[in-house]
Amino acid sequence: MSETRTLFATAPRGLQDLLATELESIGLGGVHAQRGGAVFEGALVDAYRACLWSRVANRILMPLARFGAEDDDGLYRGAMSIDWSDHLGSDNTLAVDFTGIKAAISHSRFAAQRVKDAVVDQLRDSDGARPSVDMREPDVRINVHMHRTNVTVAIDLSGESLHRRGYRETGVAAPLKENLAAAMLYRADWPEIAAAGGGFVDPMCGSGTLAIEAAWMAADSAPGLLRTRFGFLRWRGHDDAAWKELVDEALERQETGLERLPPMAAFDSDRQAIRLAMANVERAGLDGRIHVERREIAAAGMPAKTDRGLVATNPPYGERIGEQHELLPLYLRLGETLRTRFPGWCAVVLNGAGCQIGLKPDKSWQFFNGPLECRLERFEIATESEGTRATPAEDLVNRLHKNERQLRKWLKRDDVTCYRLYDADIPEYALAVDVYGGESGRWLHVQEYEPPASVDPGKAQGRLRAALSAIPAATGVPPERMVFKVRRRQRGAEQYNRMSEQSRTLVVREGPCRLEVNLTDYLDTGLFLDHRPVRHWLGEQARGKRLLNLFCYTGAATVHAAVGGAASTTSVDLSKTYLAWLRRNLALNDRDERRHSTVHADAREWLANCKETFDLIFLDPPSFSNSKRMEGSLDVQRDHVAMIDDAMGCLSADGVLVFSTNLRSFSLDAQLPDRYGLEDRTRWSIPRDFERNSRIHQCWFIRNR
């Protein structure tokens, strides 16, 4: 026990200095940071102390030998030079982990296999039996590290990574490991804040990791107390008496520390996250000591009897490229909540999305959450008396109010619940703001038009942040009911690709119809608001008639015709997703599917071979598509004559073909008026809420002569 050893604690990337400081704080000597972790000197009991008390370390390694190896045979010989009977016997299980930096042996599995061979061969020669391999829960875990030709073989005293504290439910993935959460809290000076009586809040707590780590840190509770397995417990050199003495001391410190725990709270808007957090808090022995509650970000507040403290949180990052930008409203809501509800507090935010929250950090650090590079940002939140704050985007707010006033009578008269409120009316705020009046309340769907290269990106970002901060209050819609997207120029089938997995769906009403919209998962929502007059017209004309809806998308026009009494409808699209969406829309309106068929096909190819006749045809093709599921490509300018000719071949003698396109540069072929009766209905087809943008689409009624 008294033999001084050189030991090594591994750390997550970029946290070597923090680990070294922590090891010194728990009474270990000879500490210095180096690549991958920190070296320290001490007896076996000091290694145990590091296993029990380090909140930042991943593993505690006790080196057994160092040697050179040019190849796998050298690795085998070096491992054989260690007397393995001091560490395990043939009745034990083992596992070998291998890491390397520019190692002479680059294949880690093969290198680990050669060390394992040396261990089992030596023990079999001496005992007549060999130990078994157990990669999940071995009695002894051996760590081998190779830097070029230099090899270090060590016993892994931790056994499994020390971030596994024992309070998290088995098999549940977490976005933030426990030792990374602890590192965040150290960077925020949480131990000092807690010692001074400051409170703690995580407004987006997820499974509760940050709150639990903060509570244990404030209560002087050893992070290893709940663990039932360590790498040294079945190691032959283990000193059980020394270990139990350390555990007894830690239990006494925990009992005393819990009595001085400051007020703590954890909030999240997700019910499942709150259930998980409450279960983890209970397993951590903190039931009743951390207030856990479902709340939206804006409703998060200080715990009772606190006027100072720390807010620490790990907001969503967004895994899809581009999704980070769309998380901006969430980050802005977080910033607004910090500013208005936590004046005088400190805050740390692990920012993996690169979104500004509207506050200036006083300090930041590079931080790695797994492979993802983040910024850990610390904020000192000003009190209200420390400055005034101008109303953000005041000119935009005034325009939103003006537009709402101008549309109010029309919305009420025509019973419109989903409409465009703002469409880049002010050039500095290049946004489209749509209101969706769902059955569960109003939502906002906000899209930013991609700014031209001539616009200064910094200024554009500043205006965007101001706009997104101001829009919810200006419209009376809660900020958590605002969905934000960036509308870039789409190519091919990109506009139909899934963007997200959030599935924020709601049911809206349009005239006599109920329709499902999805605000989050695709670029468009499932309801083209500018085609509202055409859909209403089709519904009014459809009684007893046969409708064909080509490139039907989610079938809103089909639903209007079905509700209007159509004898039958046929809807054609290449997307199974949108056809399923159409069937859900029909079901929402209690329409019998037997009279309303959906066809999974390339609409052009299907139309060219169509032998049926229809009284109403709606043809609204995409401007361009080169989907892999279709032959060739579709270009509405190039192909519209052929499509119209084929559609007219399916039209009854007194029927109407409604042709529409959103291609702004579109020009109708001059030969078509010679063959058919054409009526330009563009002006009629653009609804009141889109009058500011008269080029949103073009529309014609086409009849047989």
Instruction: Answer yes or no: is 428 within a domain.
Output: yes
3-class SS of residue 688:
helix
Nearest alpha-carbon partner for 253 in 419, 27, 101, 511: 27
- Contact call for residues 634 and 625 (beta carbons, < 8 A): yes
The enclosing domain of 134 has a CATH number of: 3.30.2130.30
Euclidean distance between CA atoms 79 and 76, whole angstroms: 5
The last residue of one of the domains, among 386, 410, 432, is: 386
Same domain, 677 and 540: yes
The answer, yes or no, to whether residue 250 has pLDDT greater than 60, is yes
Q: Which tokens go with 102?
A: 């520019």
Across 411-420, 486-495, 603-612, least confident range: 486-495
> Please, which pLDDT band fits residue 495 given cuts at 50, 70 and 90?
very low
CB burial of residue 497 (10 Å; 0-12, 13-18, 19+)? exposed
Same domain, 627 and 586: yes
Same domain, 286 and 381: yes
Same domain, 207 and 330: yes
Same domain, 137 and 56: yes
- Contact call for residues 530 and 690 (beta carbons, < 8 A): yes
The predicted structure's pLDDT at residue 508: 97
Instruction: Answer yes or no: is 252 within a domain.
Output: no
First to last CA, the chain: 103
The enclosing domain of 400 has a CATH number of: 3.30.750.80
Same domain, 190 and 107: no
Domain range for 83 is: 5-156
Q: Which residue type sits at 522?
A: Y
Q: Give the count of domains, the chain.
A: 4
Instruction: Answer yes or no: is 462 within a domain.
Output: yes
- The residue ranking higher by pLDDT, 114 or 428, is 114
The answer, yes or no, to whether residue 186 has pLDDT greater than 70, is yes
From the centroid of its chain, how far is CA 28? 39
Instruction: Answer yes or no: is 110 within a domain.
Output: yes
Instruction: Answer yes or no: is 290 within a domain.
Output: yes
Across 18-22, 51-55, 219-223, 313-317, least confident range: 313-317
Helix, strand and coil percent figures for the chain, each rounded to 5: 35, 25, 40
- Contact call for residues 332 and 466 (beta carbons, < 8 A): no
Same domain, 205 and 345: yes
From the centroid of its chain, how far is CA 476? 27
Identify the DSSP state of 526. Answer: S
Q: 437 - beta bridge partners? A: 442
Nearest alpha-carbon partner for 262 in 192, 346, 203: 192
Instruction: Answer yes or no: is 464 within a domain.
Output: yes
The answer, yes or no, to whether residue 395 has pLDDT greater than 50, is yes
The enclosing domain of 355 has a CATH number of: 3.40.50.150
Euclidean distance between CA atoms 175 and 240, whole angstroms: 35
The answer, yes or no, to whether residue 632 has pLDDT greater than 70, is yes
Across 357-371, 564-578, 617-631, least confident range: 617-631
Same domain, 66 and 112: yes
Would strands 546-550 and 614-619 be described as parallel, antiparallel, or unpaired?
A: parallel
The predicted-structure confidence for 653-695, as pLDDT tens digits, reads as follows: 999 999 999 999 999 999 999 999 999 999 999 999 999 888 9
From the centroid of its chain, how far is CA 589? 34
Instruction: Answer yes or no: is 172 within a domain.
Output: no
Euclidean distance between CA atoms 548 and 538, whole angstroms: 11
Q: What is the pTM of this model?
A: 0.84
Same domain, 271 and 198: yes
Mean residue pLDDT of the chain comes to 92
- Contact call for residues 379 and 226 (beta carbons, < 8 A): no
Q: Which tokens go with 188?
A: 């925020």
The predicted-structure confidence for 300-333, as pLDDT tens digits, reads as follows: 999 988 989 999 999 988 655 445 667 889 999 9
The predicted structure's pLDDT at residue 386: 55
Euclidean distance between CA atoms 698 and 666, whole angstroms: 8
> Please, which pLDDT band fits residue 494 given cuts at 50, 70 and 90?
very low
Rounded to whole angstroms, what are the CA distances from 120 to 62, 78, 160? Answer: 20, 14, 22
Same domain, 350 and 438: no
Same domain, 535 and 678: yes
